[in-house]
């Protein structure tokens, strides 16, 4: 992983690929790489869909090695949804394959002169950029099936669906999983729209005959990896809960905590939660001979994914994750697991962020376009997006735009991006993260649910403002660093609770890079990444006033605790004062 691959889609003689050494970007990976390149190279006031924006795809520091959980990939750009910097994270095979091809980053630059659509093939022999308008308006599933027929069953694909081609602000970039299905998505911030604006439909990655990346100290690396895996399997969440019930194990937990946003954030508990919980979901999957425990990429030992079959026993989608189940479920008043699975399938096929779409449909339901609980109407709305009708284009632009168009006051967004599945009034720490994250509302930026609800890494009362700023700050720093390594964020449960597992991670990094890595180094890396991002956003026009939740969280009391968001604005302004 010693070079950057740049593909100029606006080159005068047609799209052109070039390689260059890492230079100032040496030592970076994942979110560190994407945020550094975007911050240094993209004009902060440029149009997100214009020629000056760049789409950066970067494997993590450890990606392409045999380190467990190291297959996450970062996709970065200026976001068409927020107008600020964006890093969207995904699983799938793309990170491992791109890293083994030797690239620390793939950068799409410029813009084609016409509406020609391209596919890009990258393998050991180099890069081929091919015009292929036959791919226009194909969904991700049909597209990947076609690529499989053309390039074989061992390639990894990075693609966009119809939403990305139509440059919708809720569009995702899809990464294929181990079965070559487009089920893993860099979902947030409209990164798919930027890929569409570059005229790229699909990138085919083939690492045949390319070796795994080797650590500088193989023996130390092997020992550390073994200890790291042991730690992950020992922790009750990463060793039992997530493999057994997926991320949707959280539905009952968060509902009981009174923090499950229901009917567009009107209440904190959903009467139908048990019908769509991880436990119920697992029972359905078992009864239909689905796959309950499954990894999204090679080297995953947590294996929180799965395969969800329809009533006829045919493949429908991967196991719908907690965020998806909440967004299309409780938030919209829908308690039908099959309907939610269908919505998940449609989102993946069209290339749409399930969080943004679920929040958008919730806003549309509040506006009176449909009744809460009407799953057929929700499915029809997503299909409108896929078709690109006038209504579909409004919905595909996200919750903020939909709220403006239909005159809805309760619109749950920060910096234009929809809030995920934890109400900040009942989980005040995650509210701090939503408000202050460089990415817009994003639970993964600093997952304060750990200490607020799950008693992981300590305990901070979720209903009180005290301690929340420090909690969010520390988690935002740590998360930025984890995102740079290529590690799955779920390792946080084990490394927060088990010192030996955290030390094993440090040993992994040290043995792989050949440079001693300490806890202070991890902290410094996280801070550096956040500084790149904050600097970009400042130059793009963001101020402290953008680091705020919508007013209704401060004025409307949430049942069952009858509480509002109580962290003061002046305290929010201290998050990045380290």
Residue among 13, 199, 209 nearest 111 (CA)? 199
The pLDDT of residue 299: 82
Q: What is the rounded average pLDDT for all residues in the chain?
A: 96
What's the pLDDT score for residue 40?
98
Two tokens, residue 95? 């990170």
Running along the chain, 578 residues long, what does each successive block of 10 average in pLDDT? Answer: 94 95 96 98 98 98 94 97 98 96 98 96 97 98 98 96 98 96 97 98 96 94 96 94 91 97 98 97 95 84 92 95 98 98 98 98 98 98 98 98 98 98 98 98 96 96 98 97 95 94 96 95 97 98 98 97 98 96
Domains along the sequence of the chain with CATH: 3-205 (3.60.9.10), 215-245+424-578 (1.10.599.10), 247-422 (1.10.569.10)
Name which of 10, 349, 33 is nearest 198 in CA terms: 10
Q: For residue 529, give the nearest of 492, 482, 461 by alpha carbon.
A: 482
User: What's the pLDDT score for residue 294?
Assistant: 84
CA distance 489 to 147: 30
Q: Tens digits of per-residue pLDDT, 336-378?
A: 999 999 999 999 999 999 999 999 999 999 999 999 999 999 9
Q: Are the C-beta atoms of residues 533 and 78 closer than 8 Å to each other?
A: no
Q: How far apart are CA 111 and CA 50, in angstroms?
A: 7
Reduce the DSSP state of residue 328 to 3 states and report it.
Answer: helix
- Structure confidence at residue 153 (pLDDT): 92
φ/ψ region of 84 (left if φ > 0, alpha if ψ in -120 to 50, else beta) reads beta
Q: What is the pLDDT of residue 297?
A: 81
The closest alpha carbon to 299, from 61, 494, 72, 27, belongs to: 72
Q: Which residue from 565, 569, 570 is spatially nearest to 554, judged by alpha carbons?
A: 565
Biggest CA-to-CA distance, the chain: 63
**What is the torsional sign of CA 260, 265, 271, 273?**
negative
Would you say 225 and 473 are in contact if contact means Cβ atoms under 8 Å apart?
no
Helix (H) and strand (E) counts in the chain: 24, 17
Residues 6+ apart with CB under 8 A from 142: none
What is the pLDDT at residue 95? 96
Q: Say what the pLDDT of residue 54 is.
A: 98
User: How many C-beta atoms lie closer than 10 Å to residue 95's C-beta?
Assistant: 31
Q: What angle do CA 143, 145, 150 make, to 5 degrees?
A: 95
What pLDDT sits at residue 516? 95
Residue 359 pLDDT: 98
**Residue matched to tokens 């943004």:** 356
Give the number of other Cβ atoms within 10 Å of residue 412's Cβ: 26
* pTM, two decimal places: 0.97
Is residue 161 within 8 A of residue 345, CB to CB? The reply is no
Q: Are 59 and 90 in contact (CB under 8 A)?
A: no
Closest listed residue to residue 71, CA positions, set 461, 485, 538, 556: 485
């Amino acid at each position: 992983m010693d070079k950057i691959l740049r593909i100029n889609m606006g080159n005068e003689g047609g799209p052109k690929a070039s390689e260059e050494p890492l230079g100032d970007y040496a030592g970076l990976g994942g979110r560190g790489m994407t945020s550094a390149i975007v911050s240094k190279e993209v004009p902060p006031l440029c149009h997100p869909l214009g020629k000056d924006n760049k789409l950066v795809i970067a494997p993590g520091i450890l990606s392409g090695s045999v380190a467990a959980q190291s297959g996450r990939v970062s996709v970065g750009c200026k976001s068409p949804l927020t107008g600020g910097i964006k890093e969207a994270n995904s699983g799938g095979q793309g990170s491992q394959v791109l890293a083994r091809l030797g690239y620390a980053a793939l950068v799409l630059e410029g813009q084609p002169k016409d509406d020609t659509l391209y596919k890009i093939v990258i393998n050991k022999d180099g890069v081929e950029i091919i015009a292929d308008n036959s791919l226009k308006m194909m969904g991700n599933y049909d597209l990947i099936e076609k690529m499989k027929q053309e390039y074989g069953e061992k390639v990894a694909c990075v693609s966009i669906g119809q939403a990305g081609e139509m440059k919708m602000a809720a569009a995702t970039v899809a990464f294929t999983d181990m079965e070559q299905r487009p089920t893993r998505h860099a979902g947030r911030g409209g990164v798919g729209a930027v890929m569409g604006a570059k005229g790229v439909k699909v990138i085919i990655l083939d690492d045949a005959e390319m070796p795994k990346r080797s650590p500088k100290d193989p023996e130390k690396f092997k020992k550390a990896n073994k200890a790291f895996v042991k730690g992950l399997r020992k922790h009750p969440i990463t060793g039992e809960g997530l493999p057994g019930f997926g991320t949707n194990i959280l539905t009952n937990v968060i509902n009981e905590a009174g923090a499950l946003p229901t009917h567009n954030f009107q209440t904190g508990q959903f009467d139908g939660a048990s019908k769509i919980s991880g436990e119920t979901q697992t029972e359905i999957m078992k009864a239909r001979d689905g796959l309950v425990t499954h990894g999204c990429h090679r080297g995953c030992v947590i294996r929180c994914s799965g395969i969800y079959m329809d009533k006829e026993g045919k493949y429908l989608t991967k196991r719908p994750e907690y965020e998806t189940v909440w967004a299309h479920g409780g938030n919209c008043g829908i308690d039908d697991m099959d309907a939610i699975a269908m919505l998940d399938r449609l989102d993946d096929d069209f290339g749409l962020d399930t969080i943004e779409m679920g929040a958008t449909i919730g806003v549309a339901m509040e506006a009176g376009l449909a009744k809460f609980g009407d799953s057929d109407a929700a499915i029809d709305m997503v299909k409108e997006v896929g078709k690109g009708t006038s209504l579909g284009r409004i919905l595909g632009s996200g919750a903020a735009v939909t709220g403006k168009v239909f005159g809805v006051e309760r619109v749950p967004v920060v910096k234009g991006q929809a809030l995920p599945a934890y109400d900040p009034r009942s989980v005040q720490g995650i509210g701090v993260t939503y408000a202050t994250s460089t990415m817009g509302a994003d639970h993964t930026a600093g997952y304060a649910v750990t200490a607020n609800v799950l008693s992981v890494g300590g305990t901070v009362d979720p209903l009180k403002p005290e301690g929340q700023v420090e909690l969010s700050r520390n988690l935002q720093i740590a998360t930025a660093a984890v995102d740079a390594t290529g590690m799955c964020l779920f390792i946080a449960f084990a490394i927060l609770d088990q010192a030996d597992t955290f030390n094993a991670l440090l040993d992994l990094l040290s043995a792989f890079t050949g440079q001693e890595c300490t806890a202070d180094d991890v902290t410094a890396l996280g801070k550096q990444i956040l500084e790149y991002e904050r600097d970009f956003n400042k130059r793009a026009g963001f101020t402290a006033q953008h680091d705020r939740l919508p007013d209704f969280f401060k004025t409307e009391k949430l049942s069952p605790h009858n509480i509002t968001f109580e962290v003061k604005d002046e305290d929010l302004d201290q998050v990045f004062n380290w």
